Structure formats: C-alpha cells, structure tokens
Amino acid sequence: MIVELPDTTTSQVSKTLVKIREEGGVVALGRVLTLIIDTTHDGEEEAIEAANDASREHPMRVIVVSEDDDGSPATESRIDAEIRVGGDAGASEVIILRARGDAADDEQSLVMGLLLPDAPVVTWWPGAAPEVPGDSPLGRIAQRRITDASTQPDPQDALDRLAASYRPGDADFAWTRLTLWRAQLAAVLDQPPYDPVTAVSVTGAVDSPSTTLLAAWLSMQLGAPADCTLTGLEHGSHGIHGVHLVRPNGRIELVRDQPGVATLRQPGQPVHDLALPRRSLRDCLADELRRLDPDELYGEVITRGLALVSQRAANDEGATA
C-alpha cells in the first residue's frame, strides 16, 4: 500500500503511520532499527529496493530523505511525503520525504520525529557522501554510517577522504564487497605449507576502491609489502581482477578472469575454478546491518593499511584517470 501526502509535515506523517497501523493491522512491533537513506530523486528507487530486500533479514523502518537533483532553485518551502507498507515495503515501513526550500535545510529535524524509539539508527549514503559523515546532520544521530566509495567521482581519492574523516561506526561498501575474497584467501592460507608471504600484488579496475582496500588488508595481515595495480575499464573489466601472493615455494594466484568465476592456482595443487561473484547492493546492505557496533578491522585498514600500499596505474589502452 502506498499513501501520498503532498505538502505535509513530519507530524502529519507520524499520525498517518499510526492511522495505517490501526486501520490495516500493520504494526511496527519487531522493528530492530531505523535506516535513514540520504539520496537523490534519481537514486531513491534502487536504494529502496535494496532496503526492502534487506528488511526480510532485518525488519526496520526506512526513512528516505530524497534531494531534488534537477539543478533548479527551490523557492517554495514544502515537504511531499510518501508512505509504503505491506507488499510495497518488504518487511519494513518506508517513508519518503521530498523536502524543498527552507524545509530541506535541517535534515536532522526532518527525521527526528519519525525515528523508532529506543532503536539503533543507521544512515546510508548510496551516492554522494558528506566530507565527514560522522559530523553531518544525519551522521551525528546514527550508530553506523555507511558510504560507498565506488559511487564517488574519484573512488581512489574517496578512500583518502574516508581515512582522514574516519570515526568509529563508519563503514563503506568498498570494504563489504571484499567478504568473499577475504574468506577465500584466508582458507587458502590456512592450509600447509605455512610459509610466510613475502610479497602481495593485487590488480583491479580504476573504479574499484575494493582493490586498494584488499591490498591494504593483506599487507597488514601478512606483514608483507603490497603492490596495487589499477587498470582501465576495457571490455567491461570492473572490480577486482586478481591477487598474487609470493611464497618461498612459489606463487598463489586467485584470478577472476570471467564474471563470477575465479581461478585458483597453487604450487603442487590442481587448478580450481571457484564461484566469486560481485556482491549485490542488497547483500552489502544486509551484511552491514548485521552488526551495529563499530567495525574495528575496517577502521584499522582505512586509517593505517592504506599507507602500506604502493599504488600505480597500468598503461593500458583505454585507462581512465
């Protein structure tokens, strides 16, 4: 069910939610958190779809603060709202707030009256993020703050800004997308022989901040120098391409040379093909919502690990800045 509330107030939105629950039997009991999504009008549906899917694992109230991104000045101060419940909201309640003019200036006041009482708050920026998420109006009221460096104009530069602005509770999907890679590499290194790794090399596309974070994590965990090579986007080769680990007895290679499938090569072992797909937006969001305490490992990697990585750009035809 979708209820439109043109030219309204947050107080009226809250009263309408209560009325919907009383008349339709839709209850907020069991909601475990409030998810605030700060996005643009063009990106709101994709973010809502991911939140609806994730809500089946994490029942929640979703508040979408949707900015007008058409570039035209907004002189009229007003709030247009939309409430989605039932089949249109997964296992959540979705409240979309489209504020203009003076009504959009104070985002914190815009959402405060709609937060679930005594429930954690998570703020997610699917697109452009504040310079310092922890100091932003919607970041200050949240226990967790989720950004996505891959959606920024310069993903690699975005990592440096995240490192400089890091606060406990910050998270980024560039790190979340590494879960499968980290698990597979940990499983490989947990097998004999237990020779030390003397050098690390990670390759990926220039639009993949995950490549740099993977190199930083490996360098920290293995105590070995790491080289990160970023290539162009020819033939649609986005994301991480491969990892090469040097040991005294030979090289370990985990290379994703086709979409969703990686090839593992180890000295003295048969070649294995492994399922290693790129994680969806829904998977990343659900993963981050499983923990509401600070991700200390991510904090160490983003603040200390990046300095351990030697980064260079390959001179591939079609490479971008």
Same domain, 287 and 235: yes
What pLDDT sits at residue 320?
A: 28
User: Of 191, 220, 196, 231, which Cα lies nearest the Cα of 311?
Assistant: 231
The contacts of residue 220 (CB under 8 Å, 6+ apart) are: 300, 301, 304, 305, 308
Look at the block and give the residue holding tokens 């602005």: 165
Same domain, 163 and 21: yes
Residue 286 identity (one-letter amino acid): A
Predicted TM-score of the model (pTM): 0.91
Residues (pLDDT < 50) of the chain are 28, 71, 235, 315-321
Domain boundary among 174, 205, 229: 174
What pLDDT sits at residue 24?
A: 66
Look at the block and give the residue holding tokens 């703050």: 145
Is residue 321, in this structure, part of any structural domain at all? Answer: no
What pLDDT sits at residue 236?
A: 52
Domain boundary among 174, 200, 221: 174
Q: How many CB atoms lie within 10 A of CB 284?
A: 22
Residues 232, 315: Cα–Cα separation, whole Å: 8
Tens digit of each residue's pLDDT (9 = 90 or more) over 133-175? 999 999 999 999 999 999 999 999 999 999 999 999 999 999 9
What pLDDT sits at residue 276?
A: 94
Same domain, 154 and 220: no
Same domain, 214 and 71: no
Residue 120 identity (one-letter amino acid): P
Under a CB-based contact definition with an 8 Å cutoff, are residues 290 and 189 in contact? no
Is residue 271, in this structure, part of any structural domain at all? Answer: yes
Is residue 99, in this structure, part of any structural domain at all? Answer: yes
Domain boundary among 153, 174, 195: 174
Is residue 319, in this structure, part of any structural domain at all? Answer: no
Long-range contacts of 253-261 (CB under 8 A, 24+ apart): 254/181, 254/184, 254/185, 254/188
Same domain, 227 and 168: no
Same domain, 36 and 151: yes
Same domain, 189 and 163: no
What pLDDT sits at residue 87?
A: 75
Same domain, 155 and 240: no
Look at the block and give the residue holding tokens 């974070």: 213
The contacts of residue 288 (CB under 8 Å, 6+ apart) are: 122, 144, 146, 171, 173, 176
How many domains are there within the chain? Answer: 2
State the residue range of the domain holding 131. Answer: 2-174
What pLDDT sits at residue 316?
A: 42
Is residue 118, in this structure, part of any structural domain at all? Answer: yes
Burial class (CB in 10 A: 0-12, 13-18, 19+), 199: middle
Is residue 318, in this structure, part of any structural domain at all? Answer: no
Same domain, 124 and 74: yes
Strand, helix or coil at 280?
Answer: coil
Same domain, 140 and 208: no
Under a CB-based contact definition with an 8 Å cutoff, are residues 230 and 312 in contact? yes
CA 107 to each of CA 98, 103, 143, 146, 208: distance values in angstroms, whole numbers, following the listed order: 11, 8, 17, 17, 31
What pLDDT sits at residue 318?
A: 36
Residues 41, 20: Cα–Cα separation, whole Å: 25
Bond from prior residue into 259 cis (ω within 30 degrees of 0): no
Q: For strands 309-313 and 226-231, give the pairing.
A: parallel
Is residue 320, in this structure, part of any structural domain at all? Answer: no
Residues 276, 15: Cα–Cα separation, whole Å: 47
Is residue 89, in this structure, part of any structural domain at all? Answer: yes
Same domain, 277 and 130: no
Same domain, 90 and 227: no
Beta strand extents in the chain (DSSP E only): 2-5, 33-40, 60-67, 78-84, 93-100, 121-124, 144-147, 170-172, 199-205, 226-231, 240-247, 250-258, 261-265, 272-275, 309-313
